[in-house]
């Protein structure tokens, strides 16, 4: 009852406001003579009627600022005598550095392979329907993501103190073979095992996220066609998962290449270890030696990045309607285009 | 008799309660037989006791409002959906389960996959493999199951793609095709297994209206070729044209079934009438 009264009284001021409003109603947008499209007829040839793109002065200012700063940095790098570029030249391809580089490459390559294989196994474990496999994989990943790599490495280095011999045989039963721990594992093996154990935990999550990104309909279609289970994984799910896996895994891989610098702590002279020992022997060359290490790491990760570009391209087959040009194809196309334009201009 | 065709089966009250001594797959002419199918999603009784027989070479169209259990029923036929109670048989062979005394036990996955390879399934969203070419999509199953060599499979795939009017798209990737073309590839992919029965789950629902015709033409061609088809669809006109048997489902039960001249043109049940008046 009272509500109805309230409502009507609330309406009244509105109505009076409209009635006595001194402001005339605004004309509808677009009704003004200037906006009428019918009257907007432009004469002239098509070239004159081309729409002029927006001007962007801010972009030019930003470009100039960045270029000036960049020029300063490069000038400093070249002219500052403390970088000692001549000593950089001397060290860059010394055999001792290249031997270290070989160790770095070996550790990185083996760890990448074992880490990925272990990661796939762990990811399948986490995706499995078996609760034991699921929990064991989860605990492994949890443990190795929690422990710093350097701790794992030093732990393994001192492993022979924990278990003097390793034997192969019946679990909890008699052994068929035994090995002396210290004789079995070289520093290289310890480094590869340590980094692989760590890498597998991260790779597992990368692989798992990739597999989860594949549409459920793909699993159903593969299953409805009666494709054998391993075939479903290898030919249907994995190639599509790889599209999501590769960018994150390359991230991992670059981290791994840099993590190999820790193997110095298990007495393995990798490239960075060599740089450190050489730096101790030639204290005056520390800066050029560090530059040598930096440049070699940049080269290694660049190779991986270029490989990533082409591998990603391969696995995006079918995902895009038309493939973008590779940089090489782009250069070819641009040169062809320029040549055509040039001949056309000459002909004119 | 209004309810002459209505399934009136004893409905168990709890999931997992197997029917004692199931009448397993009697020798009959039916290509697809569903016997007292029950399925629960949590507390929701999606299939509430469905029995259905589709004779060999006939076309059954399943109609019903959304949520009536049409797709679940269709997916239960090739065991993509597991029944809680009841069983499905194709040409007298139990699907997804085997008889163990007077109980039914689920088969190992390998055996289920082998059975599925003899049943075609066409999805609403096509579910083609986007990273494989059209040809590889069609040859995948016969090659992976070891039925045909790669060359034989490719030759057969070309013939099938010609049949669905896509001979020129063999080397395209699915995303380069229109929806109607993708669905026709999906049908060719299902046919590559030479299935005796093909199941269609709303094959035209994801298509633009002008592309529906091409897909229906392919299905019509299959219907007249003597393959047993079970089709879930909303295309009433198409159902009238190709169906030998129309099944109307509501709330997990068969409300009415019979030839299209009865169910579509002269529905007896008020629920069927109400549904048809809305969709026609």
* Cβ separation A229–B127 shorter than 8 A: no
Chain B residues whose CB is inside 8 A of the A217 CB are 123, 125, 127
Per-chain mean pLDDT for chain B: 87
Number of A–B residue contacts, CB under 8 Å: 77
- Kindly indicate the confidence band of residue A158, based on its pLDDT and cuts at 50, 70 and 90: confident
Q: What is the pLDDT of residue A257?
A: 93
Tokens at A173, concatenated: 């039963």
Interface test with A, best of B79, B144, B173 (most A CBs within 10 A): B144
Residues with pLDDT less than 50, chain B = 1-27
CA angle (A264, A268, A274) in 5-degree steps: 65
Q: What is the pLDDT of residues B217-240, one digit of tens each?
A: 999 999 988 899 999 998 898 999
A236 vs B: CB within 8 A:
yes
Would you tell me which residues 6-25 of chain A have a C-beta closer than 8 angstroms to some C-beta of chain B? Answer: none
For residues A69 and A67, what is the distance between their CA atoms, to the nearest angstrom?
6
For residues A214 and A241, what is the distance between their CA atoms, to the nearest angstrom?
6
* Cβ separation B110–A228 shorter than 8 A: yes
Determine the average pLDDT of the residues in A125-148: 95
For residues A31 and A42, what is the distance between their CA atoms, to the nearest angstrom?
20
B117 vs A: CB within 8 A:
yes
Q: What is the pLDDT of residue A348?
A: 75
For residues B197 and A65, what is the distance between their CA atoms, to the nearest angstrom?
70
- A313: closest CA of chain B, how far (Å): 12
- Chain A: residue whose CA lies nearest to B134: A318
Tokens at A40, concatenated: 């907007």
B127 vs A: CB within 8 A:
yes
For residues B266 and B274, what is the distance between their CA atoms, to the nearest angstrom?
12
Chain B residues whose CB is inside 8 A of the A235 CB are 140, 144
Interface test with B, best of A224, A228, A246, A311 (most B CBs within 10 A): A224
In chain A, the percentage of residues whose pLDDT exceeds 70 is: 80
Question: Does residue B122 contact residue B206 with C-beta atoms inside 8 Å?
Answer: no
Residue B179 C-alpha from the chain's centroid: 20
For residues B185 and B191, what is the distance between their CA atoms, to the nearest angstrom?
10
For residues B126 and B122, what is the distance between their CA atoms, to the nearest angstrom?
7
CA-to-CA separations, B56 to B77, B96, B113, B226, in angstroms, rounded:
15, 20, 22, 8
For residues A49 and B50, what is the distance between their CA atoms, to the nearest angstrom?
70
CA-to-CA separations, B181 to B167, B190, B192, in angstroms, rounded:
11, 14, 17
For residue B235, report the phi and psi dihedrals to the nearest 5 degrees. -85, 90
Q: Which of B35, B31, B27, B28 is nearest to B91 (CA)?
A: B31
Determine the average pLDDT of the residues in A73-91: 88
- A20: closest CA of chain B, how far (Å): 51
Query: ipTM, 2 decimals?
Result: 0.85
**Is the pLDDT at A254 greater than 90, yes or no?**
yes
Q: What is the pLDDT of residue A2?
A: 41
Q: What is the largest CA-CA distance in chain A?
A: 106
A301 vs B: CB within 8 A:
no
User: 10 Å Cβ neighbour count for A242?
Assistant: 20
Higher pLDDT, B126 or A81: B126
For residues A201 and A197, what is the distance between their CA atoms, to the nearest angstrom?
7
Question: Does residue B5 contact residue B257 with C-beta atoms inside 8 Å?
Answer: yes
Q: Which of A149, A143, A146 is nearest to A107 (CA)?
A: A149
By DSSP bridging, strand B44-55 and strand B30-41 are antiparallel
CA angle (B149, B154, B156) in 5-degree steps: 95
According to DSSP, the residues that pair with B245 across neighbouring strands are: B60
According to DSSP, the residues that pair with B246 across neighbouring strands are: B61, B258
Chain A residues whose CB is inside 8 A of the B193 CB are 225-226
- With 0-12 / 13-18 / 19 or more C-beta atoms within 10 angstroms meaning exposed / middle / buried, residue B38 is buried
Q: What is the pLDDT of residues B139-167, one digit of tens each?
A: 999 999 999 999 999 999 999 999 999 99
Residue B101 C-alpha from the chain's centroid: 29
Question: Does residue B7 contact residue B50 with C-beta atoms inside 8 Å?
Answer: yes
Q: What is the pLDDT of residues A274-302, one digit of tens each?
A: 999 999 999 988 999 999 999 999 999 99
Beta-strand runs (E) in A248-299: none
Q: Which of B37, B48, B3 is nearest to B271 (CA)?
A: B3
Instruction: State if pTM tops 0.95.
Output: no
Question: Does residue A141 contact residue A122 with C-beta atoms inside 8 Å?
Answer: yes
Q: What is the pLDDT of residues A171-228, one digit of tens each?
A: 776 666 666 655 567 888 889 999 999 999 999 999 999 999 999 999 999 999 999 9
- B115: closest CA of chain A, how far (Å): 7
For residues A97 and A271, what is the distance between their CA atoms, to the nearest angstrom?
6
């Amino acid at each position: 009852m009272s509500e109805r009264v309230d409502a009507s009284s609330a309406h009244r001021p509105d109505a009076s406001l409209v009635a006595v409003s001194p402001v005339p109603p605004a004309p509808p947008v677009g009704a003004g003579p200037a906006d009428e499209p019918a009257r907007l007829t432009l004469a002239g040839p098509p070239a004159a009627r081309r729409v002029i793109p927006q001007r962007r002065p801010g972009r030019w200012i930003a470009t100039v600022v960045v270029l000036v700063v960049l020029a300063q940095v490069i000038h400093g790098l070249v002219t500052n005598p403390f970088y000692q570029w001549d000593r950089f030249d001397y060290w860059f391809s010394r055999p001792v550095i290249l031997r270290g580089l070989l160790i770095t490459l070996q550790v990185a390559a083996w760890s990448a392979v074992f880490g990925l294989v272990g990661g796939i196994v762990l990811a399948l474990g986490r995706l499995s329907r078996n609760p034991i496999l699921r929990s064991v994989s989860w605990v492994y990943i949890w443990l190795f993501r929690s422990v710093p790599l350097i701790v794992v490495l030093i732990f393994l280095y001192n492993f022979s103190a924990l278990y003097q011999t390793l034997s192969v045989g019946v679990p909890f039963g008699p052994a068929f073979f035994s090995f002396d721990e210290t004789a079995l594992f070289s520093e290289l093996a310890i480094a590869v095992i340590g980094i692989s154990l760590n890498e597998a935990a991260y790779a597992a999550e990368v692989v798992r996220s990739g597999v989860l990104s594949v549409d459920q309909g793909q699993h159903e279609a593969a299953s409805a066609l009666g494709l054998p289970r391993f075939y479903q994984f290898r030919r249907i799910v994995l190639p599509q998962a790889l599209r999501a896996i590769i960018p994150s895994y390359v991230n991992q891989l670059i981290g791994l290449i840099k993590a190999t610098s820790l193997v110095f702590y298990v007495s393995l002279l990798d490239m960075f270890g060599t740089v450190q020992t050489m730096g101790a022997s030639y204290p005056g060359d520390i800066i050029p030696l560090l530059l040598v290490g930096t440049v070699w790491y940049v080269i290694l990760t660049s190779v991986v990045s270029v490989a990533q570009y082409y591998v990603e391209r391969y696995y995006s087959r079918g995902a895009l309607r038309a493939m973008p040009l590779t940089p090489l194809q782009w250069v070819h196309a641009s040169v062809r285009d320029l040549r055509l334009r040039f001949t056309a201009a000459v002909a004119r | 008799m209004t309810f002459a065709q209505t399934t009136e089966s004893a409905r168990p009250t709890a999931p997992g309660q197997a029917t004692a001594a199931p009448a397993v797959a009697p020798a009959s002419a039916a290509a697809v037989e569903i016997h007292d199918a029950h399925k629960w999603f949590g507390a929701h009784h999606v299939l509430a006791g469905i029995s259905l027989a589709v004779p060999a070479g006939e076309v059954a169209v399943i109609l019903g409002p959304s949520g009536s259990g049409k797709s679940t029923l269709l997916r239960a036929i090739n065991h993509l959906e597991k029944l809680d109670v009841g069983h499905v048989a194709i040409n007298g062979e139990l699907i997804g389960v085997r008889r163990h005394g007077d109980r039914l036990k689920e088969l190992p996955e390998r055996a289920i996959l082998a059975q599925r390879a003899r049943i075609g399934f066409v999805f609403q969203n096509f579910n083609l493999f986007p990273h494989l070419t059209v040809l590889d999509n069609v040859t995948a199953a016969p090659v992976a199951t070891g039925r045909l060599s790669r060359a034989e499979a490719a030759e057969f795939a070309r013939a099938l793609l010609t049949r669905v009017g896509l001979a020129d798209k063999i080397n395209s990737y699915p995303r380069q095709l229109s929806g109607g073309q993708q669905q026709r590839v999906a049908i060719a992919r299902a046919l590559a297994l030479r299935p005796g029965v093909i199941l269609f789950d709303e094959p035209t629902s994801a298509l633009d209206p002008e592309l529906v015709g091409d897909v229906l033409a392919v299905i019509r061609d299959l219907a007249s070729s003597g393959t047993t088809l079970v089709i879930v669809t909303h295309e009433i006109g198409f159902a009238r044209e190709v169906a030998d048997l129309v099944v109307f489902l509501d709330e997990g039960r068969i409300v009415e079934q019979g030839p299209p001249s009865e169910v579509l043109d002269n529905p007896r049940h008020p629920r069927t009438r109400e549904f048809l008046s809305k969709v026609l």
